[in-house]
Amino acid sequence: MKEATSGTLYWVQTLLKIAIFLSITGAAVSSRLFSVIRFESIIHEFDPWFNFRATKYLVEHGFYKFLNWFDDRTWYPLGRVTGGTLYPGLMTSSAAIWHLLKKVGLPVDIRNICVLFAPAFSGVTAYATYKLTSEIKDSGAGLLAAGFIAIAPGYISRSVAGSYDNEAIAITLLMVTFMFWIKAMKTGSIMHSTFAALFYFYMVSAWGGYVFITNLIPLHVFVLLLMGRYSNKLYASYTTWYAIGTLASMQIPFVGFLPIRSNDHMAALGVFGLIQIVAFGSFIKSQVSWEKFQTVMFVSLAFLLVLGVSGLFLLTYFGYIAPWTGRFYSLWDTNYAKIHIPIIASVSEHQPTAWPAFFFDTQFLIWLFPAGVFLLFLELKDEHVFVIAYSVLCSYFAGVMVRLMLTLTPIICVCAAVAVSKLFDAYLDFSFVFQKSKNGARKFDKDAIFTTITRTLVSGTFVAYLFLFVYHCTWVTSNAYSSPSVVLPSRNPDGSPALIDDFREAYYWLRMNTAEDAKVASWWDYGYQIGGMADRTTLVDNNTWNNTHIAIVGKAMSSPEDKAYEILQAHDVDYVLVIFGGLIGFSGDDINKFLWMVRISEGIWPDEIKERNYFTPSGEYRVDAAASQTMKNALMYKLSYHEFPTLFGQQEGIDRVRGQTIRAEDVGDLDYFEEVFTSENWIVRLYKLKDRDTLGRDLKSASQFDRAAARGTKRRVSKRPQLELRV
């Protein structure tokens, strides 16, 4: 696309571009609103609940109190230094928007800002992608890329309305940073690289995935150096970016001195050093003869390599540089987490990606992606090297971890846009029809007709593909990525739509009807939700910073009632919350997650908890009569199935998730816990720890006595009084 610089054409182009961007933003935002329209303006899933809670705290207490926030309502009794262990970028952004809107007379509720944050930023992402792709190819490809990224399900999966997570803003910042980096690298402009550094800082403040930028830009520079493409522009942009970016990133409390201590950041430092040497070398090269320079280069390179590697090794060995983190190892060895860190492996988004997921998330872009990379290879300008490095690196990561599909999607969109735009450049060009031949008459020969037909055919096919893509994206967004998972859709007996709202029912019951400082023990998945919706103190939550503490809850859940009672009492627990899907067939319940609880606590107490004991002798995981005795005695089993069989009239109940029969005698009685609330569809069950017996008995014998007494009363009542006279 040729760009006019002045005159009417310029304004027409500007107007068209604005119109196109408004439509793209409109499409991006509206396709993310399925959940708001179908359900309501609600925060989704788990982590967003924490971010929402933190944002509310920030808005209420101000920035400095937020940075110094010590949260005593989670990880009881340890608490969490929340202000120092989170990425504040997301919360500060939405708080800033909240304040800004308030200033201009729009006091929007903070919840609505949080819910609509991700859709709003997806529009910005589209614009940044447009700018980036324009740098790579031209603005035609840019518009295509913007259109792709706006509706690609791979990105939508983390940015629907209500999905108020760090990724919502991180992808935007990723694209903006890269856009500025490409500009800086092309022009050597200090301003652009400063902007790149500032957005890098913003990214650091928003998402742990900033490490991706920290490594990708140095990799780009490194590859360019290896290709012998060193230039002063590259030097100026990289050193500016690195110096400002690193210093700025160290201002984030959670990051602190990591940029100079952690292995994740060493590549950037190494390349920074390397580029100094290369700069020095190129200076020398311009001063001395080629032979002399070669000798100097080889000697110094070998020396530096040895020094660098041994220095890194020694510093790591003596603990000055932090070794790689567990998540990093699991990037290289997909089995690493399963063996060493079950808590990472227990999260479904850390599993390797299945092949169909690529097509599901990007549809026809996935096969245009390699084509685009190949086309860039043909040209191989400096900025193309960046895209190629990004593509290769991210393709691998996306294959290892499902959630990294998110970082791959933008580059897929860029490459696919390059491919499609190249194709359209050639095949949408019908100008020859209007060209006049040399003799002045219009030319309608065979060639022209065939060219017209082939061009119409090819571009028609691709327009159809684009149409299918839009259709697919809408379908995927609507069906797969728009469920808040707090509320489940269902149907009334008469077929009208209804909602299963058990989570909020139980959380709200907790919030309304328990003491404000009550402590709730549950599996860590529900920690953030309990904090956000029930506003009660939790033992563990989705932050998972303390594996031992999680293992304590896991141990309590997998122990028999009396042991569990001791553990929970020692931690001041008042209520225990379990998720049970057996009644309506909700498969994400605690019995299905139970093995992870067992595994995690086995990691800490291998003598007391053994995974093997929870299986049947034939190695099956069962909950019916054939279940092992350890399983039947486990607190989780008892709390899940308490009174469940009695609901079915006879002594057996059918668990609809596992399709097994639960017998009343397997579940037994509860001696140490008392049911206080169960939600309408039994998804959430709440139990209270009984108070210690006033007569000093242990709770088991006290409960047995009470039950016997109750049976005795019944028997006595049913007995007729004896009235016959004894003489």
Partner 1 sequence: MGRMINVRIALTAIVILLVQAVAATTPANGYPQTWENIDYKRRVDVSKSYLQETAEIRIKNIDSIANDKYYFALPSFVAETLSYLSASLKDVNAFIDSGIVHDQPASEENSLTFALITLPASVSPGDEIDIVVRFAHNTGRRPFPERIALGDRQTMLITIDELPLSNYETLHYSIEFSGASEFSHQASENSKLAPVSTKGGLALKTSASIPPFEPSPIFTISYPHDGSFPRVNNLERGIWASHWAETLQFEEYFELVNDAAPLESGFSRADYMKKQLALKKGNHLATLEIPLPAEASDTYFTDLVGMVSTYRVFGDRLILKPRYPLFGGWRFNFTIGWTNALSQFLHESKEDETYILSVPILDGPVNTFYDNVSLSVYLPEGSQVVQVESQIPFHAQEVSHKKSYFDLREGHTKISIQYKNMVDDLSKGQLLVVYKLSSQSLYKKPLSIGAYIFCALIAFFVLKSQ
For the CB of residue 39, give the shortest distance to partner 1 in the complex, in Å.
8
- The conformational region for residue 145 under phi > 0 = left, psi -120 to 50 = alpha, else beta, is alpha
Q: How far is the CB of 727 from partner 1 (least distance, A)?
A: 40
Hey, what amino acid is at 612? Answer: R
Phi/psi zone of residue 663: left (φ > 0), alpha (ψ -120 to 50 degrees), beta? beta
Q: Give the contacts of 563 (CB within 8 A, at least 6 positions apart).
A: 556
Residues 6+ apart with CB under 8 A from 68: 83
| 620 versus 675: smaller Cβ distance to partner 1 | 675
Whose Cβ is closer to partner 1: residue 10's or residue 303's? 10
CB of 347: closest distance to partner 1 in angstroms?
A: 25
Of the pair 103, 446, the CB lying nearest partner 1 is at 103
- Residue 538 in contact with residue 530, Cβ under 8 Å? yes
Are 447 and 400 in contact, with CB atoms under 8 Å apart? no
Nearest to 517 by CA among 32, 72, 20: 72
Residues in the chain: 727
- Express the helix, strand and coil content of the chain in percent, nearest 5 each: 65, 5, 30
Give Cα separations from 50 to 70, 88, 541, 686 (angstroms): 14, 12, 9, 22
Nearer to partner 1, 293 or 508 (CB): 508
Q: Which two tokens stand for residue 344?
A: 């990472």
Question: For 607, phi and psi rounded to 5 degrees?
Answer: -80, -30
Contact 113, 98 (CB under 8 A): yes
Tell me how far, at minimum, the Cβ of 569 lies from partner 1, in Å. 18
Pick between residue 411 and residue 573 the one whose CB is nearest to partner 1.
573
What would the 3-class secondary structure string for 276-294 be? HHHHHHHHHHHHCCHHHHH
Least distance from C-beta 505 to partner 1, angstroms?
4
Q: CB-wise, 507 or 614, nearer to partner 1?
A: 507
CB of 107 or CB of 323, closer to partner 1: 107
Comparing CB distances to partner 1, the nearer of 115 and 213 is 115
Q: Minimum Å distance from CB 250 to partner 1?
A: 35
Nearest-approach distance from CB 506 to partner 1, in angstroms: 8
CB of 323 to partner 1, least distance (A): 42
Q: Is 315 helix (H, G, I), strand (E, B) or coil?
A: helix
**Quick one: 238 or 644, whose CB is closer to partner 1?**
644
Bridge partners (DSSP) of residue 498 are 490
Which of these, 183, 165, 130, 163, lies nearest to 17 by C-alpha position? 130
The minimum distance between CB 721 and partner 1, in angstroms, equals 24
Distance CA 383, CA 234 (A): 11
Structural contact between residues 522 and 556, judged by C-beta atoms closer than 8 angstroms:
no
Pairing of β 488-491 and β 497-500: antiparallel
Nearer residue to partner 1 within complex by CB, 222 or 508: 508
Q: Distance between CA atoms of 97 and 58, rounded to whole angstroms?
A: 13
CA distance 258 to 268: 12
Closer Cβ to partner 1, 102 or 692, answer by number: 102
Q: Least distance to partner 1 from the beta carbon of 603, Å? A: 34
What residues line the site for partner 1 (CB under 8 A)? 14, 39-42, 102, 104-107, 498-499, 501, 504-505, 507-509, 511-513, 533, 643-644, 646-647, 674-680, 682, 687-688
* CB closer to partner 1 out of 228 and 649: 649
* Shortest distance, position 686 Cβ to partner 1, whole Å: 9
Q: What 8-state DSSP symbol labels residue 403?
A: G
Shortest distance, position 663 Cβ to partner 1, whole Å: 15
Structure tokens at 681: 């569809």
Cβ–Cβ under 8 Å, residues 598 and 564:
no
